[in-house]
């Protein structure tokens, strides 16, 4: 089909597209309504025709277009993109006789069209050196932000000491309830099962030596010094740290954090400090409860094996000292501060986008567990050095 004569390519009741040659340019003339109905019938035909022919200089003549919607604008931009993607030099596409109204529709659609193309395009994976450099830069950026956040918490803490009335006591008690009271069941369940399983696992080999009663010593010491604080901290990392990150992250996405800054309110003092104080206070109390339930789980096993509860109680009291209990509570206090601080920090660092809050929540839980493990290792070394 030659291009010298005007050629009718496709027809519909509302849309007509034709092609003609004008000097060195190919003119696409659109007549009628360039709307969803006409586009749906002619999209594939227009696409195939452009693919079969090479057009270097193209003009889209819209002088005879009555109406144009987003579907019609999308067809024009799609054809334009196909023509410009051809391996030809000095190739161009022009829009003629668009009119103000059609021009606005095209410009608005062009923004969305470019954005969608950016999303579809897949970037080439970084090489090893580039990926390592980006990871290193991200690590030090995160470390710098964490140090800055720690300084802001310290400043907010001293502000609260100097002006106690500025502290959000209602928020503190609300977070205390959600973090502590609402977590009692899951903490009790996990502690009880851990104590029960440990007692069963230890009782079998110790029965060979006639030392089943010393399972009470094992349960009492391991639960108060290690498992009670550690299991409670992991539960709070999954419940509270993620909740703090999600709450503050949602506020960040909704620009509520920016509104607080605009009003001269420090987000760290207003949002983070009540949560950190509440977690620091409630975690040792939960650990005390977890210790009691864990030891109770071990007691059920020993009683079922024929040992009196009084003997179990005497073994636990004789083995567990005040220093052992205090060391576990100190761990719990530090774990609570770290868990709440990590959740608030990740919430304030939430990035915009539909997945921003989800990413921040996941990072808060993962980082909290890692920090808890590292802190627990440090405590173990300190307790060993000072013979605690």
* The pLDDT value given to residue 354: 66
* CATH, domain range 7-120: 3.30.750.24
Start-to-end C-alpha separation, the chain: 94
- pLDDT of residue 39 exceeding 60, the answer is yes
Q: What confidence tier does 114 reach under pLDDT thresholds 50, 70, 90? A: low
pLDDT band of residue 14 (cuts 50, 70, 90) is low
Whole-number Cα distances in Å, 244 to 83, 247, 276:
51, 5, 10
Confidence of residue 60 (pLDDT cuts 50, 70, 90): confident
- Model pTM score: 0.68
| Cα(53)–Cα(262) distance, integer angstroms | 58
What Cα–Cα distance (Å) separates residue 256 from each residue in 242, 267, 359, 363?
19, 10, 19, 21
**Domains of the chain, residue spans:** 7-120, 169-385
Please tell me whether residue 355 adopts helix, strand or coil conformation: coil
**Band of residue 73 on the pLDDT scale cut at 50, 70, 90:** confident
Residue 105 — pLDDT band, cuts 50, 70, 90? confident
pLDDT in the model for residue 113: 62
DSSP 229-244: HHHHHHHHIIIIIHHH
Instruction: Give me the pLDDT at residue 5, please.
Output: 41
Here the tokens at position 153 are 């918490």
Region of poorest pLDDT, from 83-87, 224-228, 295-299: 83-87
266 and 157 in contact (C-beta within 8 Å)?
Answer: no
Q: What is the pLDDT of residues 170-189, one digit of tens each?
A: 999 999 999 888 999 999 99
Q: What is the pLDDT of residue 190?
A: 95
Interatomic CA distance for residues 78 and 48, integer angstroms:
12
Is residue 186 a contact partner of residue 193, using CB atoms and an 8 Å limit? no
- CA dihedral sign of residues 222, 319, 212, 208: positive
Helices (H), 180-223: 184-207, 215-222
Cα distance between residue 366 and residue 193, in whole Å: 23
pLDDT in tens, 131-168: 898 889 988 999 999 999 999 999 999 999 999 988 99
Tell me the average pLDDT of the chain.
Answer: 85
Give long-range contacts, CB 8 A cutoff, 24+ apart: 322-328: 323/388, 324/221, 324/224, 324/225, 325/224, 325/291, 327/225, 327/379, 327/383, 327/388, 328/224, 328/225, 328/226, 328/228, 328/229, 328/287, 328/291
Residue 337 predicted with pLDDT over 70: yes
Q: Report the pLDDT value the prediction gives residue 119, as an integer from 0 to 100.
A: 41
pLDDT at 89: 63
| Residue where the block lists tokens 């009492």 | 220
Output the CA–CA distances (angstroms, integers) from residue 3 to 8, 9, 26, in the order listed: 10, 11, 8
Q: For position 109, what pLDDT does the model report? A: 79
- Which residue reads 């964490």 in tokens? 146
Average pLDDT of 71-100? 75
pLDDT at residue 272 tops 70: yes
What confidence score (pLDDT) does residue 27 get? 80
For residue 2, the model assigns a pLDDT of 46
């Amino acid at each position: 089909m030659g291009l010298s004569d005007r050629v009718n390519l496709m027809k519909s009741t509302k849309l007509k597209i034709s092609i003609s040659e004008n000097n060195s340019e190919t003119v696409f003339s659109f007549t009628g309504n360039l709307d969803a109905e006409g586009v749906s019938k002619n999209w594939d035909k227009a696409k195939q025709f452009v693919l079969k022919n090479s057009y270097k200089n193209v003009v889209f003549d819209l002088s005879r277009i009555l109406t144009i919607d987003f579907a019609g604008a999308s067809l024009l931009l799609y054809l334009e993109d196909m023509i410009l993607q051809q391996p030809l030099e000095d190739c161009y596409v022009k829009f003629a006789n668009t009119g103000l109204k059609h021009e606005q529709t095209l410009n608005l659609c062009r923004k969305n069209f470019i954005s969608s193309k950016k999303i579809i395009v897949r970037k080439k994976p970084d090489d090893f050196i580039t990926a390592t450099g980006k990871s290193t830069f991200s690590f030090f950026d995160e470390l710098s932000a964490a140090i800055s956040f720690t300084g802001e918490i310290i400043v907010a803490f001293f502000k609260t000491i100097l002006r106690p009335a500025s502290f959000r006591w209602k928020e503190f008690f609300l977070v205390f309830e959600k973090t502590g009271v609402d977590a009692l069941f899951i903490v009790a369940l996990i502690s009880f099962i851990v104590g029960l399983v440990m007692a069963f696992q230890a009782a079998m080999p110790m029965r060979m030596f006639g030392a089943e009663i010393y399972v009470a010593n094992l349960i009492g010491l391991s639960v108060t010094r290690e498992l009670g604080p550690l299991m409670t901290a992991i539960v709070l990392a999954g419940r509270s740290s993620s909740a703090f990150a999600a709450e503050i992250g949602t506020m960040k996405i909704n620009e509520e954090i920016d509104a607080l800054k605009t009003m001269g309110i420090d987000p760290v003092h207003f949002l983070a400090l009540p949560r950190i104080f509440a977690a620091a206070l409630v975690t040792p109390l939960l650990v005390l409860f977890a210790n009691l339930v864990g030891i109770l789980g071990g007691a059920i096993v020993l009683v079922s094996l024929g040992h009196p509860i009084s003997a179990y109680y005497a073994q636990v009291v004789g083995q567990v000292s005040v220093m052992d209990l205090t060391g576990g509570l100190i761990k719990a206090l530090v774990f609570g501060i770290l868990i709440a601080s990590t959740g608030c920090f990740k919430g304030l660092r939430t990035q915009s986008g539909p997945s921003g809050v989800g990413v921040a929540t996941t990072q808060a839980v993962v980082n909290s567990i890692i920090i808890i493990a590292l802190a627990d290792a440090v405590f173990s070394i300190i307790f060993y050095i000072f013979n605690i």
